[in-house]
Each structure stands twice: as structure tokens, then as C-alpha cells.
Structure 1
């Protein structure tokens, strides 16, 4: 994975955390769940990157 992919995943994770926090602050369960989902998606992508990086070396 390239640097662009890693930065994109980090951005998705940060956006997910922001959505989750906004959802908690406004009692919007849908927004909170959406933020958690974004974070999980970013974590899965990061895990895939780590596996690919492990096979490069």
C-alpha cells in the first residue's frame, strides 16, 4: 500500500472518531454508529496494509 492509501485510512479513522463524538454530543445514535463503522472499516484496511507490508520483507 502506498502512502496515499495509508493517509486516506488515517483520515477515515479520524473522521469516524469525529462522527462518533458528534453523535454522542447530540444524542444522535445513527451518527455515532456511522462513526464507529467508519473506524472499523479503517481498522480493517490498516490490517490489510500490515499483512501486505509483512510479505514485502
Structure 2
């Protein structure tokens, strides 16, 4: 379970990078804001999952 949690943390960061790159590519378009929002959500999920995982590790 611990390795799976770390994998998904890294996956959220990868998704954030992909959405950031897509926002850069279509910067003049309306979609850029949606991509930036999705990238911010992915970073938030990374931080949230990491904190949750570390709290579970400390309780054990």
C-alpha cells in the first residue's frame, strides 16, 4: 500500500506537469486557464495525498 501511495503521488505531479505544458502551448486560448486550474488541482492532490500518507505512517 505504501508503494502504491508513493506511485500515485508521483503520478499527480506528472499530470500537473503535463497540464502545465498544455497551458503553455495554448496560452492565447481560453483553454489555458482550464489547464492551469487542472494543474493546480493536481499539485493540491499531490500535497494532500502526501500529507495523508505521512500521517498514516506516523500512526503505525
TM class by shorter chain equals 0.7 to 0.9
Superposition TM-score, scaled by structure 2 size: 0.76
Calculate the aligned-residue CA RMSD, in Å.
1.4
Which runs of 5 or more residues in structure 1 are unaligned? none
Structure of higher CA gyration radius: 2
C-alpha deviations, 1:26-48, integer Å up to 9, x for none?
21111111111111011101000
Structure 2: distance between partners of 1:7 and 1:43: 13
Aligned length: 56
Q: Of the candidates 25, 30, 33, which is equivalent to residue 29 of structure 1?
A: 33
The 5 A counterparts of 1:1-57 are 1-27=1-27, 28-56=32-60
Q: How far has the Cα of 1:19 moved from its partner?
A: 0.7
